[in-house]
Amino acid sequence: MFYKNEKPAILMFQDGRYFQGIGFGATKIVTGELVFTTITGAGYNETLTDPSYQGQIVIMTHPLIGNYGVPPWEKDEFGITKHFESDSIKVSGFVVNECCKEPSHYESVKTLDIFLKEQDVPGIEWIDTRAITKILREEGVQIGLLAVYNSGETPNIEELKEIVKKAEDPNLRHLSSEVSTKEVKKYIPPNSLGRVVVLDMGVKLNILRNFVQRGVETIVVPNNYNYDKIMSYNPDGVFISNGPGDPAVYKETIDVCKNLIKNNIPTFGICLGNQIIGLAAGGTSYKLKYGHRGGNKTVIHLETKKCYITTQNHGFCVKDFEKGGFKEFLKNIDDDTNEGIVHETKPIFAVQFHPEACPGPFDSLYLFDKFLENMELSKNAA
């Protein structure tokens, strides 16, 4: 398999099974949770920089990745980085069938290989991603290892088996602390129509862009902010962001949401935010066998029966939130898992998918407008 001038690479499961391929990006050994996404060949830059992938080795099911290269680190008129979902690559490792070496796009400034090298992230190609995905679908996501060597080196399989045996489950870590902002950030559009405080559990930048584009002053605060510190900004609404890891780990944020519910504060949650609000309502969370990751996941609105194609990236789900006054209003068509909750009487709702898309369809952008309507109605009722 290995060629004279190529970098040897190994992808290994925790039980010692392994696939060999050719390395690109950084030369190093990493461990993490092996997950796959069905996002197409358009969207790999956003996938790589999505904070929800912190601690994970991501397998792309689309066969060719990198065909339009990597754009520059530019900012839009609001000061928010374009093209990427955070300020760095967040995946621990990247697994593709083929990495394009000669991309073609007028905005491209580098190849995927160079991008991963700059960010010190290893990648592996010429590997059977279909076979790997089938294993994860049948057995569930699991801990694994990705090793990339310099050309001419020979992988020590027995040594790698010992390393992967001792690898920790990243979901046991407080992953949000690793990706959340460490300082308050403010995005203030002209003629502000309101103020939202974003509790940054690992927020994607296109979520912030959707708020600012709608004329909303957006204040991003670290994940460890408590209820009083959040409310000191006098927000018209509070947003609980997406992020990595097990929602049950984030006890402080669950307490924040309990107070938001108690005090009728207009609140909107996405992905991890949906799970945390559900836990604050008295629900329970559980891990999905292989998660929902991709840009073509179908959900149905239980009242209107309207279907939406959505972008998703989560490994956990929430249930039994009805005791806290919430009801389910969106459900996954494939497996009937929860895709959205709304309070029966209060201006609080959340969705399990990513309505901001990027990459993905724009079917659910209306949810941002719904949140702003809730903020306005609450303000007028005060």
Query: 159 φ, ψ to 5°?
Result: -65, -40
Strand bridging mode 284-301 / 307-319: antiparallel
Angle at 295 between CA 291 and CA 296, to 5 degrees: 90
Q: Is 356 a catalytic residue?
A: yes
Side-chain-side CA neighbours of 363 within 13 Å: the count stands at: 18
For the record, the structure tokens of 300 come out as: 């149905």
Question: Which of 33, 292, 356, 358 is flagged as catalytic?
Answer: 356
Find, among 103, 82, 96, the residue nearest to 133 by Cα.
Answer: 96
Question: Which of 33, 217, 354, 358 is flagged as catalytic?
Answer: 354
Q: How far apart are CA 22 and CA 28, in angstroms?
A: 13
> What secondary structure does DSSP assign to 298-330, as a single string?
EEEETTT--EEEEEEEEEEEEE--GGGTEEEEE
- Rg of the Cα atoms in the chain: 21
Q: What is the DSSP letter of 70?
A: B
Q: How far apart are CA 326 and CA 329, in angstroms?
A: 9
Asked whether the beta carbons of 356 and 316 are under 8 A apart, the reply is no
Q: Is 354 a catalytic residue?
A: yes
Which residues pair with residue 297 across a beta bridge? 310
Number of H helices, E strands in the chain: 10, 19
For the record, the structure tokens of 177 come out as: 């602390």
Q: Is 271 a catalytic residue?
A: yes
Which residues pair with residue 70 across a beta bridge? 110
Question: Which of 100, 257, 271, 358 is flagged as catalytic?
Answer: 271
Q: What is the DSSP letter of 75?
A: B
Q: What is the DSSP letter of 201?
A: S
> What secondary structure does DSSP assign to 213-226, as a single string?
HTT-EEEEE-TT--
Query: 199 φ, ψ to 5°?
Result: -85, 110
Strand bridging mode 142-148 / 7-13: antiparallel
The secondary structure element, H or E, covering residue 164 is helix 157-165
The catalytic residue positions are 271, 354, 356
